[in-house]
């Protein structure tokens, strides 16, 4: 922990917790209690890790999951909700199965990590001691990375890059559009969660407009990146299913986003301005606050990890999995978070119970639906190399592929969704 972070933490303790804080669970008396793993964040990263350690250690490790929400709505497949292929309810899962697998659930926010004492401080002031900690808080949005944008502006110009009310607002606004209206998406800069996500979302916008017979409507993507994930197959698919409807502008075309105005819906670039009936602004991203405040992130805003074990490079008692970490060649995805969490679970169990650990191996696939039964994918296998998580093999959908391959991809993606939510929450 840097001096600054230590000082910041001490000040925080002095201000709010020191007088009242008491351990939520009694600290371990040597030789008696079980070793303790505490996990912050119950998404696909933290949820998988907590569940796998509890299950695979047969109760030999005392596992606590700290997560303020009582249910988890997945961002993954939320684009299919936008397109009308899924219900919101089908994306929402409880923590009951994680609890039944032996994990203690604490539905509260973690406010701070006292790395010196190896304790997590809850929002209510109570302390949870750990032998190993896993931090998996996902991302925070850098609202001010887009001039004029803010958390308040997101009520008019949703990002919908975190699940919940934002996704519902986006869908409500989409369904209220009239023929001739313009949708503008401001896409995020790298690195961000779900690299193909913005472009799948645009496909789903277009599918909804097409289904409603909106022939005069346009979708403009203002991208801060010169290229994007699966670009060739997305662009081919847009031309095939939604000819003339979607316009993608790279920075050379728009020259930079100068401002967004939530009151008027106006988005101004160096080249001109757009009046958006629906503006979907997806700002730059960084690791969740708890990880940054604990001094686990570097200047990039994300958390460096050791690729052999998913341990923080700042603190070997702490694992970082999922979107908050710097995953080398892996993208930030639920698939990746689940894969990283399984490596971290194996190592945590080995650290705490002496069980055997095997070399780290990781996998990822990201599917994207362009139109009904036209689904494309990208993925790979990964292992530690050159101090990073390195890609060892890769695959990607090709342009001109047969319709049955794309249909099979869609089926695969649905099977994957059912599989991962059963693995974590089922």
Ligand X SMILES: Cc1cc2nc3c(=O)[nH]c(=O)nc-3n(C[C@H](O)[C@H](O)[C@H](O)COP(=O)(O)OP(=O)(O)OC[C@H]3O[C@@H](n4cnc5c(N)ncnc54)[C@H](O)[C@@H]3O)c2cc1C
**Contact positions vs ligand X (CB under 6 A):** 40-46, 66-69, 72, 75-76, 78-79, 109-110, 136-138, 161, 193-194, 197, 201, 288, 290, 322-323, 332-335, 337, 366
In this complex, which beta carbon is closest to ligand X, that of residue 76 or of residue 410? 76
- Nearest approach in angstroms of CB 134 to ligand X is 10
- Nearest approach in angstroms of CB 69 to ligand X is 5
In this complex, which beta carbon is closest to ligand X, that of residue 269 or of residue 345? 345
Give the whole-angstrom CA distance, residue 12 versus residue 27.
22
In this complex, which beta carbon is closest to ligand X, that of residue 110 or of residue 171? 110
- Nearest approach in angstroms of CB 133 to ligand X is 12
- Nearest approach in angstroms of CB 328 to ligand X is 15
In this complex, which beta carbon is closest to ligand X, that of residue 69 or of residue 392? 69
- Nearest approach in angstroms of CB 195 to ligand X is 9
Give the whole-angstrom CA distance, residue 341 versus residue 44.
8
Q: Where does 300-402 have alpha helices with state H?
A: 334-353
Give the whole-angstrom CA distance, residue 229 versus residue 324.
20
What's the distance, CA 278 to chain centroid? 23
In this complex, which beta carbon is closest to ligand X, that of residue 182 or of residue 413? 413
- Nearest approach in angstroms of CB 194 to ligand X is 3
State the chain's maximal CA–CA distance in angstroms: 72
Give the whole-angstrom CA distance, residue 108 versus residue 112.
12
In this complex, which beta carbon is closest to ligand X, that of residue 44 or of residue 129? 44
Residue 82 contacts residue 202 (beta carbons within 8 Å): no
- The Cα-based distances of 163 to 41, 135, 158 in angstroms read 14, 19, 11
Give the whole-angstrom CA distance, residue 356 versus residue 365.
28
Give the whole-angstrom CA distance, residue 307 versus residue 296.
15
């Amino acid at each position: 922990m840097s001096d600054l972070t230590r000082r910041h933490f001490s000040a925080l303790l002095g201000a709010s917790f020191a007088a009242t804080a008491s351990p939520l669970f009694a600290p371990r008396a040597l030789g008696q209690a079980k070793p303790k793993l505490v996990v912050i964040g119950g998404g696909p990263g933290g949820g998988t890790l907590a569940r796998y350690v509890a299950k695979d250690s047969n109760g030999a490790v005392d596992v606590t999951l700290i997560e303020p929400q009582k249910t988890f709505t997945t961002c993954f497949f939320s684009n299919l909700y936008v397109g009308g292929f899924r219900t919101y309810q089908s994306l929402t899962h409880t923590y009951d199965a994680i609890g039944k697998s032996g994990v203690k659930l604490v539905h509260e926010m973690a406010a701070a990590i006292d790395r010196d004492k190896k304790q997590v401080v809850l929002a209510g002031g109570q302390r949870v001691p750990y032998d190993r900690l896993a931090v998996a808080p996902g991302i925070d949005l850098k609202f001010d990375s887009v001039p004029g944008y803010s958390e308040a502006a997101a009520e008019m110009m949703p990002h919908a890059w975190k699940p919940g009310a934002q996704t519902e607002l986006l869908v409500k606004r989409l369904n209220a559009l009239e023929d001739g209206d313009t949708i503008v998406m401001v896409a995020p800069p790298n690195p961000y969660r779900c690299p193909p996500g913005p472009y799948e979302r645009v496909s789903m916008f277009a599918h909804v407009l097409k289904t409603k017979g909106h022939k005069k409507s346009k979708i403009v993507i203002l991208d801060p990146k010169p290229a994007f994930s699966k670009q060739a197959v997305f662009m081919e698919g847009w031309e095939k299913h939604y000819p003339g409807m979607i316009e993608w502008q790279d920075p050379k075309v728009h020259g930079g986003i100068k401002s967004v105005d939530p009151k008027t819906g106006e988005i101004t670039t160096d080249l001109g301005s757009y009046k958006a009936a629906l503006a979907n602004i997806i700002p730059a991203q960084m690791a969740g606050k708890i990880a940054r405040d604990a001094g686990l992130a570097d200047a990039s805003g994300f958390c460096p990890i050791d690729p052999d074990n998913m341990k923080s490079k700042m603190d070997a008692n702490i694992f970082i999995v999922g979107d908050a970490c710097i995953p080398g060649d892996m993208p930030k995805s639920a698939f990746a978070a689940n894969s990283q969490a399984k490596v971290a679970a194996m190592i945590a169990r080995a650290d705490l119970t002496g069980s055997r650990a095997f070399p780290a191996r990781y996998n990822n696939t990201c599917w994207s639906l362009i139109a009904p039964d036209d689904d494309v994918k990208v993925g790979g296998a990964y292992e530690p190399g050159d101090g990073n998580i390195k890609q060892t093999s890769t695959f990607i959908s090709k342009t001109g592929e047969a319709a049955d391959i794309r249909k099979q991809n869609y089926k695969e993606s649905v099977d994957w969704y059912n599989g991962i939510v059963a693995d974590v929450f089922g």
